[in-house]
Structure 1
Amino acid sequence: MNRSSSFRKSGFTGLLLVGLVVLAAALCCGCIGNQDQTPAEVQTIAVTGSTTVLPVAQLAADEYMRTHSSADIQVSGGGSSVGVQAVGEGTADIGMASRDLKSAETEKYPSLVKHTVAIDGIAVIVNPANAVSSLSLDQIKGIYNGTITNWNQVGGASQEIVVVGRDSASGTREFFYEFVMKKEDFVPTQIEKNSNGAVKQTVQHTPGAIGYVGLGYLDGTVKAVSVGTDGTVVEATLENVRAGTYPIARELYMFTTGEPTGLAKDYIDFILSPDGQAIVEEEGFVRVN
């Protein structure tokens, strides 16, 4: 092989080696560039508790996550007592409740901080076929303590009253027990359900039934009766709750252990923002600001 041929071959080999080095460097730089573009680490929080607060919490979570790709907000129900216990024990970041803390809960979880996110009315509902359109607070109490057992005792047809309420974990039940029942026992035959939706469905399919649900759960499948107090009968409407004239109303809460930080704070702040409070109103509750 002559010197010229050898030079060409060695020159070609050199160029090939240089090309491989350049390619490797480019690929390496590309890898580094891809690492720089790795999505932000996903932050996850758990929100659990009241089925009354649940629709607002879920819709707010969906809307927040739509514009914050690194947020993972997991929302579930179970009742106010479940929510308070979960956040108190540290198995959830936010506990939802449709009642204030009980004294025993305050003692057990002294670091819980309350955030009022909405105001709700509790509607007393009957089957749409029921002719009764209004009840006084005393009549409602009489039905739920077993003193009144037939609809003809309150102006309706002769039909046995089927009493439907919530289970012991419910904040709605707790408020109803304190405000309407004045802490008198419920009738032993009361059918207990674990959610607003379950109460509504039972009343919808049971002609003689009566139940109570958060105002946001009202639709054409059940009828809300007007509630009388001090001689005045008031319809169960959002406007009357806002005006303060509807008697069976309460605040809705989210609890955190200490002041919230990070995603939990941002999420609660969003619910209290104009966009979040618009969701509150769309779900049939009264905004707090």
Structure 2
Amino acid sequence: MKMKRLFQNENAVSPIVATLILVVVAIAGAAAVGTIMGSFSSDVSDEASAEDAAAGASTQLVVAGSTSVTPLAESLKSGFEESNSGIQINIQDNGGDTAGVAAVGMDVIDIGLLSRELTSSEKEKYPDLETHWIGSSAVVIIGGEDVVTKFDSSNFSELTTDDLYNMYNDSSDGSTSAKNLTDASGTSISTVNVYKRSETRSGSEYIFSKFIAEGDGDFISGTKAVEVTGDREMLETIADDPDGLGFVDFRFALEAYEEGIDVNFIGVYDGGDCRLMKGCVEDIEHMNVHIQKSLNGGTVPASVSPYPDPYPMGLLNNMYMVTNGWPSSVESRFINFAQQPASMDLYTDAGYFSLLDVTEQP
């Protein structure tokens, strides 16, 4: 019997989940999985204590994983439940990519959320996992106000992947992690504080790390950069640190912009076709065009930007729903809903790119 099936006995949820948490942590050492299960236990216990529990959804899908994909899953949940009244989607907004993969691989949850590819070790540990592509997004590099000012006031015309690698590789120990960056004329740009994610193999960090470290997705996690949790905390931290530099999923940058939070994008040259020089991506509209053109394999119109090259392919990422084996009929209904053209407006509303927006899969 799969562990997640035990959750259907709502009257006995709390002791069962408590036991499972101990077993999972003892066997797998996955503390984040325990967090997901603990949160789920609380949610279900609340439902079970309600007077109308018996009248609730007849079937429940438990979904958890990537913090970058969770907002999209929430948007899809609202549309799906409107047309599928007999199915409830329970989304846990904690854990991260790696915890979501582990949880679905151990049958703790039904569907995992992933904003990167499965790693070779994950495929080896959970050989039955199936990934289902539902859309795409991008990782954007952001900086504090003083970082942008330093770049713009110097002869520093564009940041390269080598520059970013060195900034993280040379980060010092202590409360801040700093690297003195030198512009093209040899003039010091002064201190830049670099940040990383606290979660194991966060999708955004994994993509960014591969981009600056020649395919090594674990490079940044091994540096002494300052840790933050989740895209939202990364964005808020950079907004509060004039000398900060980090990375977030584009969707979170878009959300911050709509909330009136200043978002400073850092242009980067990837050594190939894309030369996002300073001034190229100074606002969210231009960034959106560059990303979508990359996903479509096109160039940016001159009417939008004087820089025709699209966004660096290495910073684009796919979003997946993950199941342990071929999805059940109920799981398939939710996955198919996420992929169908009728759901595409939900992607736009949530700040993501649907399958209709993508002609070239990253």
- The answer to whether the superposition gives a TM-score over 0.5 is yes
* 1:136 pairs with one of 160, 165, 177: 160
Cα deviation, residue 275, structure 1: 3.4
Tell me which residue corresponds to 1:207: 242
Contact 1:87-1:95 within 8 A present in 2 as well = yes
Aligned residues: 252
In 1, Cα distance between equivalents of 2:101 and 2:164:
28
**In 2, Cα distance between equivalents of 1:128 and 1:200:** 13
Q: 1:175 aligns with which of 199, 207, 219?
A: 207
Does 1:270 find its partner at 2:337? yes
Q: Calculate percent identity across the aligned residue pairs.
A: 24
The answer to whether the Cα contact below 8 Å between 1:47 and 1:92 also exists between their aligned partners in 2 is yes
2:48 corresponds to: none
- CA separation in 2, counterparts of 1:157 and 1:70? 62
Q: Give the TM-score normalised by structure 2.
A: 0.63
Give the C-alpha shift of residue 180 in structure 1: 1.8
Q: Deviations over 1:46-82 (max 9, x none)?
A: 1110011111011111222233332211112321101
Superposed CA RMSD in Å reads 2.5
Gaps of 5+ in 1: 1-37
1:59 paired residue number = 75
Q: Which runs of 5+ in 2 are unaligned?
A: 1-53, 153-157, 172-177, 295-309, 357-362
Distance 1:252 1:137 in 2: 24
8 Å contact kept, 1:78–1:169: no
Change in CA separation of 1:63 and 1:181 when aligned onto 2, cut-off 3 Å? same
Using the size of structure 1 for normalisation, the TM-score is: 0.78
Decide whether aligned partners of structure 1 residues 137 and 40 sit closer, same or farther in structure 2, where only a CA change above 3 A counts.
same
1:226 and 1:281 map into 2 onto residues whose CA distance is 24
Q: State the AA in 1 paired with 2:66.
A: S
**Deviates most, 250-259 or 239-248:** 239-248
**In the alignment, what sits opposite 1:261?**
328
Change (3 A) 1:283 1:135: farther
CA contact (8 A) 2:159 2:269 kept: yes
Whether the 8 Å contact between 2:112 and 2:321 is mirrored in structure 1 is yes
- State how far apart, in whole Å, the 2-side matches of 1:157 and 1:238 are: 32
Shift of 1:154: 7.3
Structure number with larger C-alpha Rg = 1
- In structure 2, give the amino acid aligned to 1:274: P
The Cα of 1:87 is off from its aligned counterpart by 0.5
Tell me whether 179-188 or 211-220 shows the greater mean CA deviation. 179-188
Whether the 8 Å contact between 2:98 and 2:201 is mirrored in structure 1 is yes
Tell me which residue corresponds to 1:112. Answer: 129
Is residue 250 of structure 2 the alignment partner of residue 229 of structure 1?
no
Q: Is the 8 A contact 2:168 2:223 kept in 1?
A: no
**In structure 2, distance between residues paired with 1:41 and 1:58:** 17
Q: Does the CA contact (< 8 Å) of 1:79 and 1:170 recur in 2? A: yes
Change (3 A) 1:41 1:122: closer
User: Aligned runs of 1:183-198 on 2, under 5 Å?
Assistant: 183=216, 185-186=219-220, 188-198=223-233
Aligned to 1:10: none
| Partner-residue secondary structure (3-state), 1:72 | strand
Deviation sequence 1:192-241 (CA, Å, 0-9, x none): 22200010011011110001000111124321112213374234723222
Match of residue 22 from structure 1: none
**Match for 2:292: what amino acid?**
R
**Matched residue of 2:191: which SS?**
coil
CA shift in 2, pair 1:166/1:146, >3 Å? same
Task: Report the CA distance shift for 1:141/1:282 in structure 2 as closer, same or farther (over 3 A).
Answer: farther
Question: Is the CA contact 1:121–1:238 (under 8 Å) kept in the aligned structure 2?
Answer: no
Shift of 1:157: 7.8
